[in-house]
Amino acid sequence: MDQKIDTPRAQSGTVAVLIPCYNEAVTIGKVVDDFRRVLPEATVYVYDNNSSDGTASIAAEHGAVVRAERRQGKGNVVRQMLRDIDADYYVMVDGDDTYPAEAAPELLAPLMADEADMSVGDRLSNDGTFVDASQTSGFAVRNEAGGVIRGGAFTASIGNAGIIAGGTFNSDPNDPTKSYVSTSSGTITGGTFDCMVMGMRSGAIEDGTFNESVNIFKGFAINGGTFNGEVNSGNSSNLGGSICGGTFNGRMQNQGTIEDGVFHGTVQNASNNAGAGAIAGGTFNGYVNNYDGAVISSGTFNDGGENNNVTNDGTIRGGEFNIGVDNGGAIEGQGVFNAYVQNGYMRFDPDENRSCTIKGGTFNSDEIDNFGTIEGGTFSGKILSRGVIAGGAFSSTSSVTSNDEDTTTGGGTISGGTFDGTVTNGDPDPDYNNAVLTGGTFNGSVTNHGTIAGGTFLSDVTNRGVIEGGIFENVISDQGGTVTSCAYPLRANLTGLSIAAVPSAMPKNTAAGFPAEPSAALTAAFEKDGADANLYQLSANEGYLLPDAIDVRCGAADGQTLALAAGTDYTYDPATGAIAIKKNVVTGPLLLAAQGAAAPTPPVPPTPDTPAPAPEPETPAPKPESKPDAPKPLPSTTDSKQAPANAAALAATGDAPLPQIALGIALLAGGVTLTCAIAMQITRKKRSNRS
């Protein structure tokens, strides 16, 4: 029977590095690089267990053999790796970079020497409490959940799931990337960190001094501490964490949220494929770049002594800005701007500049350059606009100049807004007077070198350009310009009358008889060479009649009024109230005066007197005993007449009771029917007695 003889295992063989991974995009690239560098003959396998953060693609980019295991759970992954991969030696590590690759040769040595079948590295899985402990280079420290590091000097890579409350954490001068602190779910409440710090998941920094770079990701929070190195919140593909306090003296790149803190270095508030950075508070004393997609909603932005500014290509919705702002994005909301603001850029083409917008905010700055679009906001300083002003409120202390200085591709445009201060439209230089004003309300004086095509002007206007539209409260001061058309107010001084403008769509020669459009503020159009007329309808109020004539006057440049000639400059029809004032004579505000005549009062029918009561029938006195008179003969039958139908007919009969009947009819006409009835009864009794 043959006896089996054990022989020593060869000092060499195939080595497989096995890395089960789930969402380790932040660290997997470094882990693959480290093991390929330390074990160049080994094959590095990464088994991706349904990661959603790009772990697999990053591992492949760094040279790993990537395979997928769809059954969730580390146990499923490990079993499948051992089934799939055939090697002489297996090195199994996690992808979170808490296993130093430099320890792998030491762990492989007893296996290759046939001294052991397995060797296990210990990441110090005790309570994680160290006091004045000095760790040698290359020794990995794992501070487990519940563990506390209260002191010591560390040069090794630290994985922290517990609490770091003190200590000195150093970087390896020969390989700074080898020494760092990774806090996935733990908390740092103190210590001095001269190495890189990485914060992930639900961990936090609440205090400490950080002299090298700090990198945090979604779920991680910085609530305090002093940061002298660069701080990166997020990266090109991952959202950053939240910063709620701390002092930041180095450069800050934010793709998470800043809610508080003091920032003395440059702040880059950026966006990525996963989302956008947001500044919702804090004090910023250095340069701030707010990139496309990012938002500033609050915070205080100061001059830190380096003549810094804020560059915005994203959105500013709030905050107090005591330094200059260069806006290539949108300014809206309730921000307060106390320093210079430039909206848009001279180097941009017009279409690109139009997307640079100011839609809100309070601008107390002494000067604003506008190449883009202003749609809203409140302004109190000097505004030089070579872009578009479509809205906003410009106070009495503001001055607006709209022109095309420094450009020959177009001029400034004003299409809306309320202007209480002075406005200059265009430039005295004919090469730069292409500005156009088409709308807005102007309570301050306006000087025009360009073109006015619309707007309401309630103060003085000096014209050295072209006016072809707009409503003007006062006579235009012409200083070499041209007025082709505009409109002036029509003020009416009427007694017992009302006036309204005839709708423009109404035929001009048939104004009478058509309904008028009432208007509280009537205007009259001016057309330099126009043959048309302004049409109005004069109406008499109750109790009045249309007048025979009206008086129409036009304001003049010297403050006087000039009477317009009836029949030549205007026509008035006293029968219909139709008024037509020629447009070519309306060179200033119009005054129309007219007085309605009192309508005659129709006669009031007299009220009949109250009739005297009917006399009581007299009691006949006893007749003397004498021979009675012979009775009068009755009228013959042939002469007999019908009863009269009215008082006139009755009067024609010669009957005695005519006065009573006439009284009754008169009272009936006056509405006293009872007396009429009594009179009729009395009449009937008398007729009965006569029979």
What is the mean predicted confidence (pLDDT) over 48-58? 92
pLDDT at residue 68 greater than cutoff 80 = yes
- Has residue 358 got a pLDDT over 90? yes
Percent of the chain with pLDDT over 70: 79
Half-sphere exposure (Cβ direction) of 7: Cα atoms closer than 13 Å = 4
Q: What's the predicted TM-score (pTM) here?
A: 0.66
Residue with token string 């109404």: 506
Res 136: pLDDT:
36
pLDDT value, residue 37: 94
Tokens of 187: 């908390």
Q: At 114, is the pLDDT very low, low, confident or very high (cuts 50, 70, 90)?
A: confident
Question: CB–CB of 397/421 below 8 Å?
Answer: yes
pLDDT of 504 strictly over 80: no
Q: How many residues comprise the chain?
A: 691
DSSP label at 646?
A: S
Of the given ranges (330-334, 365-369, 632-636), which has the lowest mean pLDDT? 632-636
Please tell me the predicted confidence (pLDDT) of residue 619.
Answer: 58
| Range with the poorest average pLDDT among 199-203, 582-586, 609-613, 645-649 | 645-649
CA 28, CA 6: separation in Å to the nearest integer? 40
What DSSP element (H or E) covers 384? Answer: strand 382-385
DSSP string, 507-527: -GGG-TTSPPB--SSEEEEEE
Euclidean distance between CA atoms 535 and 477, whole angstroms: 27
What integer is the mean pLDDT of 439-458? 97
pLDDT digits 0-9 by tens, 515-562: 334 445 899 999 998 889 999 999 999 999 999 999 999 999 888 899
Average pLDDT, the chain: 82
On the question of pLDDT at 681 being above 50, the answer is: no
Q: Looking at the predicted structure, is the pLDDT value of residue 152 above 90?
A: no
Residue 133 or 596, more confident:
596
Predicted confidence (pLDDT) at residue 8 exceeds the cutoff of 90: no
CB atoms within 10 A of CB 525: 19
CB 307 within 8 A of CB 285: no
Integer-rounded Cα radius of gyration of the chain: 52
The band of 127, judged by pLDDT with boundaries at 50, 70 and 90, is very low
Rounded CA gap, 469 and 487, in Å?
7
Q: pLDDT-based confidence at 351, cuts 50/70/90?
A: confident
With H, G, I as helix, E, B as strand and everything else as coil, classify residue 11: coil
Min mean pLDDT across 337-341, 405-409, 430-434, 491-495 is at 405-409
For residue 90, what pLDDT is reported?
93
Per-residue confidence (pLDDT) for residue 611, from 0 to 100: 60
Single-letter amino acid, residue 89: Y
pLDDT band at 123 (very low <50, low <70, confident <90, very high): low
* Rounded-to-integer distance, Cα 649 and Cα 539, Å: 51
The residue-averaged pLDDT of 566-577 equals: 96
pLDDT of residue 608: 64
**Do residues 363 and 392 make contact, with C-beta atoms less than 8 angstroms apart?**
no
**Is the separation of the CB atoms in 148 and 141 below 8 Å?**
no
Q: How far apart, in whole angstroms, are the C-alpha atoms of residue 19 and residue 24?
A: 11
